[in-house]
Each structure stands twice: as C-alpha cells, then as structure tokens.
Amino acid sequence: MSQTYDEEELSDNVSNTKAVFSRLYGVLKPHWKTMLAAMVSIALVAITDSFYTLIQRTIIDEAILGNNRAILSQMYIYYGIIIIAQAIFVFGFVYLVGLQGERIRYDLRKMMFYHLQKLSLSYYSKTPLGWIMSRVTSDSEKMGDLLTWGIIDVTSAAMNIITAAIFMLLIEWRLALIVIASLPIMLYIAIKFRKRIYHHYRLSRKANSLMTANMNENITGVRIVKALRREEKNLDNFKVLSTNMFKSSYRAAYLSALFMPTIQTISAFTLGFVLWSGGNMVNTSFISIGSLQAFISFIMMILWPIQDIARVYAEMQNALASSERIFSLLDTQPAISDREATISIDSMRGEVVFNHVSFHYEDDDAQVIKDLSFKIPQGQNIALVGSTGGGKTTIVNLLCRFYEPTSGEILIGGINYLDYRLEDIQSRIGVVLQTPHLFSGTVMENIRYGKLEATDEQVQEAAKLAGAHEFIMSFQKGYNQNVGEGGNLLSVGQKQLISIARALLADPDIFIMDEATSSVDTLTEALIQKGMHRLMTGRTSFIIAHRLSTIKGADQIFVIDDGRITEAGNHDALMKLKGHYYRLYTQQFRHDLESEMDPFASLELNKADGAA
Amino acid sequence: MPNNKFSYPVYDLRKVTGPHQLQNFWRMITGWHWHYVGATFFAALGALARTGMNLFLAYFIDEILIKKQFGEKLLLAILAYLGIIILQASSSFMSGKLSAQTAEGSTRRMRDYLFNHIQRLSYAYHSESKTGDLLERATSDVDTLRRFFADQAIGIGRIVLIFIINFLAIYNMNARLAWISIIILPVILAVSIFFFRSISKAYSAYQEQEAVLTTNLQENLSGVRVVKAFARQDYEINKFDDNNLEKLKRGRKLNIMHSFFWPTSDLICGAQMLASGFLAATMVMDGLLTLGQFVAFLGLLTWLIWPIRNLGRLIVDTSRATVSFKRITDIIKEDEEDLVSTELPACIQLRGDISFDHVSFEYEKGHPVLNDVSFECKAGQVIALLGSTGSGKTSLVNLLPRFYDVSSGQILLDGHDLRKYSRDCLRSQIGIIEQEPFLFSCSIRDNITYGVHREVTQAEIEMAAAEAAIDDVIKSFSKGYDTFVGERGVTLSGGQKQRVAIARTLLINPRVLILDDSTSSVDMETEAQIRAALENLMQERTTFIIAHRIQSIMSADLILVFDKGQIVQSGTHDNLLKETGIYREIYDIQTRIDSAVQEEINSVSNL
C-alpha cells in the first residue's frame, strides 16, 4: 500500500508560494543564458507567425487585387525567408528547452542525492523510503517541467497574443478592441476547464494505483482466494475500484472533449461580430478584404495560446507543491554532524566506555537505553543477547554514532567520541549486518567497497580469509560475477560471507556484527563462524549473537532487556545464575540440536546441494 | 453494483481471441459499436464542417465583400457561418465524447474481466507465471488499448477523412492545384514514421537508464547503514553522478532528435505551403481562381498537410496496441477452473471419511511426485504426514481441495470419487492453514472474516480470536480489530499471522482441515499458545498435518512417512516405534536431544 501513501502525500497545499518562487528562481539562475535564448527563440517564432498573416494580407490586397506580380514574388520570397527563419528558431527553442529541462532535472537529482548522503540514520528511520524516492524521481520531473515548458509555453502564448493584438490594433483598432475584450472571458473559461480536467486526471491516477495494488494483492494471494472461495466478493470489491477509475477517467476525457469546442464557440461569436462590423466597413471601404482575412486568421490563431496558458496555470499549483517538497528535503538538517573542534585520529583502538548512557528517539520520550554503564578493554569480544526490542541494536547504533546519547557519554580511547570526526569513527568501525546489503555489480566491486583502493589481490586475500573465495571461484565469471539487484542472485549465506570479506578488507579497529537468525547450510555456517573469528581476533568486537558457539566463546556476555544490562559475565557464570540467560540458552540449545539432528533436514540439505 | 448508471454491456470476452486481429478489436468494443460508429460519423461531420468553413469564406469574399452586399444578406451569411462553426465544434465534442465512452467503457469491462479471469485460472497456471508479468498485462497493456480506442483509431480515421474531404474540395476548385498540393505527402509521412520509430527506441533507452538510476537510488537508501558504516558517501555520490550523467546524455540524444524533426518537418510542410500558395495566387491573377477560392484554398491546404505529421506517431502507436492486445489475449486464452460442475445432486455436508486408492500424481509427464499412494481414514481422525521437502506431502494435500486432480487412481471422499464434487463444494468445507499465511491489506477484522460467507458479529469474531490465542495481541493495537495489516508500526509475526488464520478457520468451521505445522521460529510460550489453538481447531474434524517435528504428531491416528512420493511407513506412534525405520530414528534423536540438553546444563553446574 506504499503507493497510496505516496499519492496522499501529493497534495497541492503550498504554504508559502512567494518563498517557493524565489527559490525556483535560484534553481533557474545558473541556466539563465540558455533560458533567455530559448525564450527569445520562442518569441521570435510567435512574432514571425503574425508576420506571415500580414504577408497574406499584402498578397490579397496589393498583389492579387492590385494585379501586381512583382509584389507577389516579393511577398513569397519574404514568406520563404520566414519559413526558414522559423525552422531555425524552432530548432533553437526545442533544443534549448529540452537541454535545459534535462540539466535542471539532473541538477535537482544531484542536489537531493548529495544532501541525502549527509542526513542521519534517524531521518531514514522515520521517513518511508518510497516518500524519498518520489521526491527524487517524480517531483524533480514536475519541477523541471514547470521551469522549462511551463515558462516557454507561457512566453510563447503571451507573445502570440501580444503580437496578434498589436497587429490587429494597427490594422483596425475598433475591430481589435472587440477581439481583445473577448480574451479575458475565454481565458477564464479555459482555466476553469483545465483545472477540472486536471483534477479528474489526478483522481484517475490515484484510482489507478489503488486498482493496481488490489490486483497485485489478489494475484499474490491467489491460493488463499481460491481456498476460501472469495472470487465473487473480490470481483465486487475490484469493480468498485475500477468504477472509480472509470468515472474519473471518463470525466477527464469528457471535459477534454468539451473544452476546445466551447472555446471555439465563444470565439465564433467574436468572429461573427468582427465579420459583421468588418463586412460593413469593407462595404464602405474602411477596411480591405486582406485586412479582414488577417483578422479572421488572428482570431483562429489565438485559440491555441489561450489553451496553453490555461494548461500551465492549472498544473502550476501541483508543480509548486512538488517544488516545495523538494526544498523541504534539501532544508532538512542532519541530526548528527561533526562538532566545531574535532580531534583527528587514525586509530580507534583502546578502551570502550559507556558512562551512564541514556537514549530516546526525538519523537518519543520513552527511554530506549536507560543509564547504561560498562567498560570494555581493548580487544575483548562482547556478545549481546536478549529479546527483540530490548535495545541491542540501539547500543550498536550508538556505538557507530548513527545516533548520539541523549545523556551520558561514550568514550573511545579515553576521549568522548563526540570530539572525533564522524568519518573517522565510522571508517574505523566495521559492521556486518544481519541481512547483508550488497549493491548491484560484481562480487569484486562489492568486496572492494570495504577499501576502495584495494588491489584485486588484496580483495581475493580478504575473500580467502573470509572463506568466500571457494564459492566465488565456482561462479562462471568468478569475481566478476554479477550479484544482481541488492545481491538477490546470491544465497543469504553467500551474501554474509561477502560482507565479512568486505569488513575484513576494511581492517577496522572495532568490529560489530548482527548475527543472522535465518539458517544457512552447515558448511556455509562453519565458514561464516571462521570468518567472524578472524574478524574478532585482536579487535574489540560487539556481536548481537544468536549462535551458541559465538555466545559461549565471548569474553563477556551482556543480557540486554528493556534498555538495561540485566545479566553480565561469561557463559559459565551466567548459567550458574539460572536466570534469563539460562532459559535462553537451554531453549536455543535444544532448538539447535533438533534442527541439526533431524534426518529430514539433512535430506533436504543433500537435495539443495544436488540442485546447485 | 446497485448503481445502474455505471453498469456496462455484458459480453463474453473469450470471443476476442479469434484469428482476425481487426475483428478481435471490433469484438472488444461490443456494446459500444454504435458509439464508435457515431464517433466516426461525427469526426467526418466535423471534418466536413471545417472544410465548409473554408468554402464559406470563399463565398463570403466573392459574393458578399467583393459584390458589396449590405445588411440582410451579410447578416444571413454571418449567421450561416456561425452555424457551421457551431456544427464543427459540437461534432468534435460528440466524436470525443463517444470515443471516450467506448474506450473507457470497454477497457473497464476488460479490466474487470481480466481480474476475474486471472483469479479463476488454475493453480498450475499461477505456479508457473510471475505476478509482475500478469499485473503488467492487466494494467498497462489494457491502458495501451484504452489509448488506442480513445486517440489512435479515431485519430487515424479523422486525419484520413480530413485529408480526403479537403483534397476533394481543392480538386473541385482546380484539379491541377490539388495534385500539386500533395506532392510532399509521401515524404512527410515517411519522415514522420521514421522519426517516431527511432524516437521510441531512444525513448526506451532513456527509460532504461531511468530504471538504473532508480535502482541505484533505492539501493543507496535501503543500504544507508552500510554506506554510513564504511563512510562511503563520496563513493556513492560518484556512482550516482555517473548514472545521473548517463541519463542526462541519453536525454540529450532524445532531445537532439526532437530538435531536428520539428523544424525539418516544418520546412517540408512550409515548402509545400509556399509552392502551392504561389501557384494559387498566380492562378487568381490569371483568372483561373477567384479571390475567395484562394483564401479558402489556403485554409484547406493547412488542414491537408499538417495533420500528416501526426499520422506517423499514430501509426507507430497502433503497432504498440497490437502487441498489447496479443499479450492480453494470451491470458484470456487460458482456461478457467471449473468451480461448479458436479455429478452429485447437491453439496451436502461432508463427514470426512477419506480413502486414497493407488493415487499417483505428476506435474509433468514422466515425473511423478506421488507414486501409488493408498491409505484410509475415518471422519474426525488426525493424519500426520512426515517427510523431507519434495517428498510429496504438499502435493498430497493440494489434491484434496482439487487444486490439482490425480493423474491415476482415485480419492474417495465419503464414498464418492473426489472429482464428482464441485471444487466450490470441496473448498467450502476444507480449511487450510499455511505456515506463514498471506494476509490482505485490510483490517484485521476483515482478514478474520475473509472467506467466511455469512454475517459474523463482533462477539463471534472475538471469541474465535480468543480461541486462537490472538485476541490479546489484536486488542493491544491502538485501533484493535480495525488495525490495518501492513500499517506503519504494525507488523504481525509469522506465528501471529498463523493465529489469525486459525481464528478465521474456526469461523468457517470446515469438516476437513489441512495444517502446515511449523512453530520453529517462535518462542516456547507462543508455541504453547499456538498448540492449544490448534487443538481447539482440530476437534471433530478430519485433519491432515504436514509435520516438521515429532511432538506435534504423537497423538495422531495415522502417521504417514513419505519418501520420494511414496509412503514408506504408516501406522500410529506406538506401532511405528516398534518397527525399525526412519520414524524410530527420529524418535531416538528426540530422546537423545533431551539428554544432551541435560548434559549441557550439568557440564556447567558441576564446575
């Protein structure tokens, strides 16, 4: 249903139109030369259009009625020049506007992406990914359109109307006034129409996304639909959605069909009026036949600019809302940034101390970490255990400085870590996540992510240490194998091994790992354990542990519950307590044995190997 | 739909899969044929009126202005002119309205049909097709058809009509002038078809890059922790820059094509306007044309030439509609599952005596997944199926609601061959609880009553939920039973989803139950709750349990041990323990585990 969320976000409320305009101007400013050239080109196209009408008039009045072939030839030469000139101007504005649009959208995406890299994890945890995506993809398109075609269409339309009005005034000002008086009426009606059409168009888009979501779900859950015989009821539900889609979509089409004929009919009355007065003027020789024909052309010509202005105006509100959302994203300040004076270091080795650390999220007063204190000597391995939601992940996030303590302090090597540079901390701490995140690209690229300047040999060395080398070599393309989007061409176990290799290559001073709960086959599991062990030796490490061997092997085990350490010590000591840890451990021990000794499980494993 | 205004003509859309493409298109709009004929008629009328406007101008100049007619005649002429314009405007409106009715109406019927058709396709079809692909066909391909009926089909007709009428009008003035005026046509048509073909290629290249960029962005955002953990912001920025720049480049290429096409076609059309205009003007001077005809000619010429530019676009788009139509009919051609046919007088309540008589089943010829399976059970008994993945357990239970039918042998239910029952009848009395049931994005209440084909009171729902040990969990949400599944902050675990399904099944009250028993991922307390809930559910129903652990099946009336599609052992727990075989091995392991746990505990305590 994320699509609905997005659609709801797309409201048209712009809180400060003036501010948005002035910032739009700022976006446009670097491109003002291109824009100006495009506007001049389109203006010239509009003006030459009117000249064409004037040439027609001369052809009728002087060449044909005056029977003057010299003037006729001359006029057609002018006509030829105008055609060529117009082609050049058309080329100019189509090219410039298109270029401009691409550039502005490029700039916007770039600006937003740069900014997003700076924002803290807290921003990402409270903003849905889909929302951010729409800002970068669709809002940048809308804002780009407004700043290019929006401006160009209005310029062109205005120039068309203005030149036509001037020429009409020059030819016969009384007739011209009749035409000019009708303009605001047509414009007003056109804008009303356009707004309605756009409104229904957007309703139909929204209905369409609801309809698609419904259909998607019905196909995904088709087995249950069949088992529960929901076909008829579901069809009825779907029909409601498709009817809504039909209504708004048809309404938009209906209004579009009515739109131009309405404007045309209004203009027809203007035209009739002009013909009546003009006809009488011709009869009294006040106006020439050619001039009257020019008036008719002008009136016909003006219809298009009116419809363009109406369209831009109707869609502008929405584009402004898009722009405002983009600006709000760009204005978001990162919650965590370097302090003014920082200490630069190249090592994070040393004691790690939590000193009465408490933490709560900005938008929630509930303490997630409560007055936590501990001291860990350099090189110790710590296992964090406890139920989900107890605060294990938050401790790790605090340590990485993805968040900062709301009170208390964290010292690394005797110094409050707020005094270090963020980049120093984060590049010296290695993290392996529970669900390893890989990027599209090759295995080589993914491991090298740990140390960009590493040679191929170094990458392979790290893969060997992590125990990933063998399966990588079994790929058809070896290290150049593509891992797919998000690494989805690899198994979970393989992804973990690669992320361990990545962390090993980075050679961090502190190592943090969130062990996976999902089961992998025994062989891979053994490799992962080995790789982890390599990473842990000689480094201070924090493992959110699920595997018994990891827990048992730790120097210290912290049982975390409700933001506190409830039990601490090594395995034997904690078992003797017969408390929380004892229960967790025996349950897990039994579970492990069951899955390990289940003859069916081993059967399945053999099958999986055979398939691979 | 109670609202009749929005209902639509009924038509069996299976008929649109005939051999003739044009006929299929025509059949798809059955019920709107007169609308469409009307739309075409009004398009023609509009084109005629437009030509009439220009011809009127000739009359106005020649007969009124040049002959200096005052007063009444002038007024009448102007009124007639207004009449023609209004005729033209209303024709264009009518044509637009009728084609919109056809396009929107027929695609809406198509959407509903596809939705229903897809959900009624066989289980086998769904196992082999991808959700995304089906969805794409049922939505964007249908939309391509909508545009075809709304714009392209009428558009092409309109342009051709306008062309013919205007050509005839000019021909009527002067044949030579008419022929000369269309010299450029083949050129402009060829250029525009060529252009729109190549631009659609460049456009898909542009869109591909857009997809790359979107993936890049999405991976970056969802992997934000990795990016930050390795402090790779600069690297990410460079990567995004490269992709962003590539999109800019492809956009520029597209832009250059546009910037060449429009002025080029302007030049070609302009040259024709110039040549024809000059020729016509000299003809007036030579007395071959009147001045009025000259002015009319200029207007007619404009409508003769310029629309041809768009004809290229329409023709290219039409080929897209043909492709989409084929993708849709591919789905329509598939047969729906027959839910209602039955050889029994009525769907009576089942008892639940089931016997498998030499049943074999294969998805593909020559690869049986069930091989000669025979067993019998009485109503209300519990049958446990034990075996590795792929041993045939799931295939066996899929036969019961007739998701698939046996390949050979037969299944008897209450003494009748299963295939004599309608699928509808079977499914209404067989309950299925999957390992991790799929919940729909509606309220938890609606999920519980999903598939319960009767009115259920809130009290009943809560009772079922309480029996399924999920009532407390639901009430702990701030919106209780109105909580939307998938709402931010509300995530149900696999075990909780399973309990929602249990509550639902309690309300449905089926006679036969199929249960995929997996409690591996929950803690002990929850496990006990689920087990209690399941026991509530299994009472007095014939139950098939797909078992993953031995505890859950010790009390079963019949245990079937499967290997490679065959039953290798069967009997009760006590019987099976006496035999040597897989079952006893499993049981022994269980006992060994218990002692191993004790040992592990002791090893520490004895320190």
pLDDT for B488 equals: 52
For range A112-127, the mean pLDDT: 86
For range A258-272, the mean pLDDT: 89
For range B550-575, the mean pLDDT: 87
CA A7 remoteness from chain centre: 14
- SS3 labels along A434-490: CCCCCCCCEHHHHHHCCCCCCCHHHHHHHHHHHCCHHHHHHCCCHHHCECCHHHCCC
The CA distance from A18 to the nearest CA of chain B, in Å, is: 30
The pLDDT-based confidence of B543 (bands split at 50, 70, 90) is: very high
Q: Which residues pair with B408 in a beta bridge?
A: B360
Domain residue ranges in chain A = 16-172+315-335, 173-286, 352-611
CB-based burial, A442-464: b 16+ in 10 Å, e otherwise? bbbbbbbbbbeebeeeebbbbbe
Q: Which residues pair with A409 in a beta bridge?
A: A355
Residue B256 vs residue B604, higher pLDDT: B256
How far CA A186 is from CA of A310, A314, B402, B449, B514, in Å, comes to 10, 15, 65, 55, 69
A467 neighbors A497 (Cβ within 8 angstroms): yes
- Tokens 């089942």 locate to B350
In this complex, is the C-beta atom of B108 within 8 Å of any C-beta atom belonging to chain A? yes
Between CA A162 and CA A50 the distance in angstroms is 10
Among candidate residues B182, B245, B79, the one with its CA nearest the CA of residue A269: B79
For chain B, the average pLDDT equals: 87
Least confident residue range of A134-138, A608-612, B233-237 = A608-612
CA B185 remoteness from chain centre: 41
Task: State percent of chain A over pLDDT 70.
Answer: 94
For range A133-146, the mean pLDDT: 88
ipTM of the modeled complex: 0.84
In this complex, is the C-beta atom of B347 within 8 Å of any C-beta atom belonging to chain A? no
The pLDDT-based confidence of A598 (bands split at 50, 70, 90) is: low
Query: Per the structure block, which two tokens stand in for A600?
Result: 């069916």
Q: Tell me the DSSP string of B544-562.
A: EEE-SSSGGGTT-SEEEEE
For range B310-322, the mean pLDDT: 85
Q: What is the distance in angstroms between the CA of the first residue and the CA of the last residue of chain B?
A: 76
Question: What CATH number belongs to B354-571?
Answer: 3.40.50.300
Q: Which residues pair with B416 in a beta bridge?
A: B413
pLDDT digits (tens, 9 = 90+) for B118-176: 999 998 888 888 888 888 889 889 999 999 999 888 888 888 888 999 999 999 989 99
pLDDT for A488 equals: 77
B85·A289 Cβ contact <8 A: no
A521 neighbors A497 (Cβ within 8 angstroms): no
CB-based burial, B126-148: b 16+ in 10 Å, e otherwise? beebeeeebbebbbebbebbbbb
Query: Per the structure block, which two tokens stand in for A543?
Result: 């493992």
Least confident residue range of A453-457, B2-6, B18-22, B481-485 = B2-6
The pLDDT-based confidence of B310 (bands split at 50, 70, 90) is: confident
The CA distance from A432 to the nearest CA of chain B, in Å, is: 8
Indicate whether A10 pLDDT > 60. no
A342 neighbors A421 (Cβ within 8 angstroms): yes
The beta-carbon contacts of B585-588 under 8 Å, at least 24 apart in sequence, are B585/A599, B586/A598, B586/A599, B586/A600, B586/B386, B586/B550, B587/B550
pLDDT for B374 equals: 94
Check for a shared fold between A16-172+315-335 and A352-611.
no
In this complex, is the C-beta atom of B491 within 8 Å of any C-beta atom belonging to chain A? no
For range A404-427, the mean pLDDT: 88
Q: CB neighbours of A451 closer than 8 A, spacing ≥ 6?
A: A458, A505, A506, A507
Q: What is the number of alpha carbons within 13 Å of residue A264 lying toward its C-beta?
A: 21
Predicted TM-score (pTM) of the model is: 0.81
For range A38-42, the mean pLDDT: 91
pLDDT digits (tens, 9 = 90+) for A181-219: 989 999 999 999 988 998 998 899 889 888 988 888 888
Mutation target vs B (from A48, A215, A288, A548; most B CBs, 10 A cutoff): A215
- CATH says A16-172+315-335 is which class? mainly alpha
Indicate whether B484 pLDDT > 60. yes
Query: Per the structure block, which two tokens stand in for B424?
Result: 């509808």
In this complex, is the C-beta atom of A76 within 8 Å of any C-beta atom belonging to chain B? yes
pLDDT digits (tens, 9 = 90+) for A480-525: 998 887 787 888 888 888 998 998 898 889 988 887 766 566 677 7
How many Å is the Cα radius of gyration of chain A?
36
Among A216, A272, A293, beta carbon nearest to B81: A272
Indicate whether A601 pLDDT > 70. no
Between CA A352 and CA A355 the distance in angstroms is 10
A253·B150 Cβ contact <8 A: yes
Q: Tell me the DSSP string of A275-320.
A: HHHHHHHHHTTSS-HHHHHHHHHHHHHHHHHHHHHHHHHHHHHHHH
pLDDT digits (tens, 9 = 90+) for B385-434: 988 777 888 889 999 999 999 999 999 999 999 999 999 899 989 998 88
pLDDT digits (tens, 9 = 90+) for B74-95: 888 889 989 999 999 999 999 9
CA B560 remoteness from chain centre: 41
Q: CB neighbours of B57 closer than 8 A, spacing ≥ 6?
A: A293, A296, B292, B295, B296, B299
Least confident residue range of A22-26, A301-305, B546-550 = B546-550
Q: DSSP assignment, residue A340?
A: S
Indicate whether A560 pLDDT > 80. yes
Q: Which stretch, A223-232, A420-429, A471-480, has highest mean pLDDT?
A: A471-480
B residues 307-326 lying closer than 8 A (beta carbon) to A: none
CA A561 remoteness from chain centre: 37
pLDDT for A489 equals: 81
Indicate whether B544 pLDDT > 90. yes
Between CA B327 and CA B21 the distance in angstroms is 13
B453·A430 Cβ contact <8 A: no
A280·B596 Cβ contact <8 A: no
pLDDT for B519 equals: 53
pLDDT digits (tens, 9 = 90+) for B343-394: 888 888 888 899 999 999 998 888 888 999 999 999 999 999 988 777 888 8
pLDDT digits (tens, 9 = 90+) for B32-62: 999 999 999 999 999 899 888 888 888 888 8
How far CA B38 is from CA of B7, B35, B163, in Å, comes to 21, 5, 19
User: Strand (E) positions, A346-406?
Assistant: 352-359, 369-376, 381-385
Mutation target vs B (from A72, A293, A388; most B CBs, 10 A cutoff): A293
Query: Per the structure block, which two tokens stand in for A292?
Result: 């009257």
Homologous superfamily of A352-611: P-loop containing nucleotide triphosphate hydrolases (3.40.50.300)
Between CA A168 and CA A300 the distance in angstroms is 13
Query: Per the structure block, which two tokens stand in for B242?
Result: 């490269």
Between CA A545 and CA A513 the distance in angstroms is 8
**Chain B hits for A589, Cβ within 8 Å:** 596-597, 600
Query: Per the structure block, which two tokens stand in for A442?
Result: 């090759």
The beta-carbon contacts of A271-275 under 8 Å, at least 24 apart in sequence, are A271/A296, A271/A299, A271/B81, A271/B82, A271/B85, A272/B78, A272/B79, A272/B81, A272/B82, A273/A178, A274/A175, A274/A178, A274/A179, A274/A299, A275/B60, A275/B78, A275/B81
Between CA B80 and CA B300 the distance in angstroms is 19
The pLDDT-based confidence of B537 (bands split at 50, 70, 90) is: confident
Q: Are strands B382-386 and B408-413 parallel, antiparallel or unpaired?
A: unpaired
Three-state DSSP state, A331: helix
Three-state DSSP state, A421: coil
Among A225, A269, A427, beta carbon nearest to B231: A427
Among A72, A137, A257, beta carbon nearest to B97: A257
In this complex, is the C-beta atom of A149 within 8 Å of any C-beta atom belonging to chain B? no
B residues 554-593 lying closer than 8 A (beta carbon) to A: 582, 585-586, 589-590, 592-593
Least confident residue range of B111-115, B300-304, B600-604 = B600-604
CB-based burial, B555-591: b 16+ in 10 Å, e otherwise? ebbbbbbbbebbbebbbebeebeeeeebbeebeebbe
Q: Tell me the DSSP string of A190-221.
A: HHHHHHHHHHHHHHHHHHHHHHHHHHHHHHHT
- CATH says B21-122+129-174+317-335 is which class? mainly alpha
CA B319 remoteness from chain centre: 21
pLDDT digits (tens, 9 = 90+) for A45-78: 888 888 888 888 888 888 888 888 889 999 999 9
Between CA A379 and CA A398 the distance in angstroms is 19
pLDDT digits (tens, 9 = 90+) for A154-191: 999 999 999 889 988 988 888 889 889 989 999 999 99
What torsion, rounded to 10 degrees, do the Cα atoms A205, A206, A209, A213 define? -160
The pLDDT-based confidence of A602 (bands split at 50, 70, 90) is: very low
**Chain B hits for A260, Cβ within 8 Å:** 89, 92
The CA distance from A37 to the nearest CA of chain B, in Å, is: 15
Task: State percent of chain B over pLDDT 70.
Answer: 95
Between CA B352 and CA B357 the distance in angstroms is 16
Query: Per the structure block, which two tokens stand in for A82?
Result: 């105008």
A227·B255 Cβ contact <8 A: no
Between CA B416 and CA B97 the distance in angstroms is 57
A residues 97-136 lying closer than 8 A (beta carbon) to B: 98-99, 101-103, 105-106, 109-110, 113-114, 116-118, 121, 124, 128-129, 132-133, 136
Task: State percent of chain A over pLDDT 90.
Answer: 26
For chain A, the average pLDDT equals: 85
